């Protein structure tokens, strides 16, 4: 694989959901934990609230990481921001809010943290979510985009082709990646359709042959969620260029 040109201009190791499993996922507390450990790259999830304002959240329902019940889309962002997104993890994180996407992204940018923004639409909200996240990312990084500093610009990823297509239509200048748990036989057609630059896939289903195929076609290759250094080394030897991890205590950000 060493003969193929690198197609991933971003950091190699990303903290999954902000701070991995050392802090409540998708919170500023998680981000700060990553910062303390030298991480300057993260993956996190973004969903729209009822009023169309994006928040940093993984599940479309409250109850697992956010105190409360019902659907995320039953609440406005300002209401979600008042709910406890940290107490489920540990008492010391009680009262940690659900971050507003804009504020969270601004915080990351201000601290030099590169972002893989995963567009995670609540069911039925794919198009609005993809478009909103892309437009906001484009506005936040307008100067970097204008200067051609694309390594600083976030990478948008999603399992939702509808969301990615919407992102492409509304802010084509922000790069996209197709998320697929398992690479579908038509993975390249899908990537071309949304003009993706990278494939993000579950390492558990990847093979050396598939990795070679993706890289040979000129796409970046990223895996989630890799929590064992030995496995990470194996994946890198197959041509995987980057990965996210929950174990920011086991992986140094400059892991190789
Ligand atoms: O973006 C990679 C990974 O986060 C996708 O799965 O469920 O952890 O958001 P999930
Ligand atoms: Mg995610």
Which pLDDT value is given to residue 122? 98
Evaluate whether residue 238 is within a structural domain: yes
Q: Is the pLDDT of residue 1 over 50?
A: no
Evaluate whether residue 254 is within a structural domain: no
Distance 229 CA to ligand 2 centre (A): 20
Evaluate whether residue 215 is within a structural domain: yes
Residue nearest to atom 6 of ligand 1 (CA): 224
Q: Is the pLDDT of residue 2 over 50?
A: no
Q: Which range marks the domain in which residue 135 is found?
A: 13-245
Q: Please state, for a pLDDT cut of 70, what percent of the chain lies above it.
A: 98
Question: Residue 157: CB within 6 Å of ligand 1?
Answer: yes
Evaluate whether residue 144 is within a structural domain: yes
Evaluate whether residue 251 is within a structural domain: no
Q: How many domains does the chain have?
A: 1
Distance 60 CA to ligand 2 centre (A): 13
CATH number of the domain encompassing residue 137: 3.20.20.190
Evaluate whether residue 8 is within a structural domain: no
Ligand 1 atom closest to Cα of 16? 4
Question: Residue 243: CB within 6 Å of ligand 1?
Answer: no
pLDDT digits (tens, 9 = 90+) for 172-228: 999 999 999 999 999 999 999 999 999 999 999 999 999 999 999 999 999 999 999
Which pLDDT value is given to residue 92? 97
Question: Residue 12: CB within 6 Å of ligand 1?
Answer: no
- Residues with catalytic function: 16, 58
By the 8 A CB rule, do 44 and 117 touch?
A: yes
Give the residue carrying structure tokens 């609005």: 128
Q: Please state, for a pLDDT cut of 90, what percent of the chain lies above it.
A: 97
pTM (predicted TM-score): 0.97
Distance 147 CA to ligand 1 centre (A): 30
Pocket test for ligand 1, best of 13, 58, 122, 158 (most atoms within 8 A of CB): 58
Evaluate whether residue 51 is within a structural domain: yes
Which ligand has the minimum distance to the alpha carbon of residue 158? 1
Residue nearest to atom 5 of ligand 1 (CA): 224
Evaluate whether residue 255 is within a structural domain: no
């Amino acid at each position: 694989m060493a003969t193929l040109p690198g197609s991933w201009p971003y950091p190699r190791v990303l903290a999954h959901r902000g701070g991995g499993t050392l802090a409540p996922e998708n919170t500023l507390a998680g981000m700060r934990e990553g910062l303390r450990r030298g991480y300057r790259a993260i993956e996190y999830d973004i969903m729209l609230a009822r009023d169309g304002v994006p928040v940093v959240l993984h599940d479309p329902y409250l109850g697992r990481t956010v105190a409360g019940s019902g659907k995320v889309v039953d609440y406005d962002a300002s209401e979600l921001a008042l709910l406890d997104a940290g107490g489920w993890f540990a008492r010391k994180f009680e009262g940690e809010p659900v971050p507003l996407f804009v504020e969270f992204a601004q915080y990351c940018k201000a601290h030099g943290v590169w972002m893989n923004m995963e567009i995670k639409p609540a069911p039925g909200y794919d198009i609005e979510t993809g478009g909103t996240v892309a437009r906001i990312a484009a506005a936040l990084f307008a100067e970097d985009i204008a200067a051609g500093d694309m390594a600083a610009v976030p990478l948008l990823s999603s399992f939702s082709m509808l969301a990615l297509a919407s992102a492409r239509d509304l802010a084509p200048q922000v790069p996209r990646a197709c998320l697929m748990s398992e690479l579908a036989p038509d993975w390249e057609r899908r990537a071309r359709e949304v003009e993706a630059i990278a494939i993000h896939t579950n390492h558990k289903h990847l093979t050396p042959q598939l990795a070679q195929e993706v890289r040979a076609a000129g796409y970046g290759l990223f895996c989630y969620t890799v929590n064992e250094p030995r496995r990470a080394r194996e994946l890198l030897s197959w041509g995987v260029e980057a990965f996210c991890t929950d174990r920011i205590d086991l992986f140094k950000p400059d892991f190789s």
